[in-house]
Amino acid sequence: MGLGEQDYQKAKVVIFPVPYSSTTCWKTGTNEGPQAIIEASRHMELYDIESKKDPSKEGIFTLEPLEPSKDSPKETVFRIKKVIDRILKDKKFPLMLGGEHSVTLGSILSFKEKFSNFSVLQIDAHADLRNLYEGSKHHHGSVMRRVRELKIPVTQVGLRSISEEDAEYVKKAKIKTIFPAPDLPIDKIIATLKENVYLTIDLDGLDPSIMPSVGTPEPGGLSWYEVISLIRQLSKKRKIIGADVVELAPTPGLHAPDFIAAKLVYKIISYVV
């Protein structure tokens, strides 16, 4: 955010860029997402109209980008976990910038070791519940299947496109915590969540009219105010313990999606601090 001085020791929030796009299916470029968000953030007003405060004064530190494994999605997951382990050990709030959605698993693995009781709230156009995709268990299309296998409850919001395999798994596992777009029954959604919540936002959960710069833009997504209203109420009724914003694939010459992603990250920070 153009902050001239950043102090890790004093920071409450640590931004962790993960420029990764190894398993993307269609439009590539999610490896460029974190830097695009950081660049756009330098042009935001730091004063938050809603809270009437400058959240950055609570302390934000941006780490150097992770160097992903070029050969192994699984190895990348564990590199991410190692960094999140350190952030949590230092009692700071990690906010990861993706990169494709597979990066979320590395963060969740770290939280599982520290928190015995938490839920995941996923905002996304897709279920990401395949067991395997393109031969990999660590594909972005399988990330929530891996999270559910860790016995961590997942509530999925904004879905509007799932595979037949996803649908069969949902039926077999008797999953009742899926809230498709366009309806957002916020109170019902929050009621499914435990006291501690990890928030993961795939930007294709937003409607492509405002967020076209994603790998698979699905029509009929959520609006800016719908997403913000959900996060606002979540922060009031539950404790957000960590978050990630993933799947921005910047479009050359189109800066609005980058700025929206940066603003969304900053709104999460404002609610957390």
> Cis peptide before 55, with omega less than 30 degrees from 0?
no
Q: How far is CA 265 from CA 55, 56, 187, 201, 262, in A?
A: 12, 12, 23, 10, 5
* pLDDT tens digits, one per residue of 17-35: 999 876 555 566 899 999 9
pLDDT at 190 over 80: yes
For residue 32, the one-letter residue type is E
Instruction: Give the list of residues 6+ apart from residue 52 with CB closer than 8 angstroms, or none.
Output: none
- The burial of 56, by beta-carbon neighbours within 10 Å (0-12 exposed, 13-18 middle, 19 or more buried), is given as buried
Q: Are strands 93-98 and 13-18 parallel, antiparallel or unpaired?
A: parallel
pLDDT at residue 134 in the model: 64
The pTM score is 0.95
Nearest Cα residue to 36 out of 247, 225, 200: 247
Q: What is the dihedral of CA 86, 88, 89, 90, to 10 degrees?
A: 90
pLDDT at residue 142 in the model: 86
Rounded to an integer, what distance in angstroms lies between the CA atom of residue 271 and that of residue 60?
14
Question: Which domains, from first to last, does the chain contain?
Answer: 13-272 (3.40.800.10)
Count Cβ neighbours within 10 Å for each residue of 14-46 and write b for 16 or more, e otherwise. bbbbbbbbbbbeeeebbbbbbbbbbebbeebee
* pLDDT tens digits, one per residue of 160-186: 999 899 999 999 999 999 999 988 999
pLDDT at 258 over 90: yes
pLDDT at 212 over 70: yes
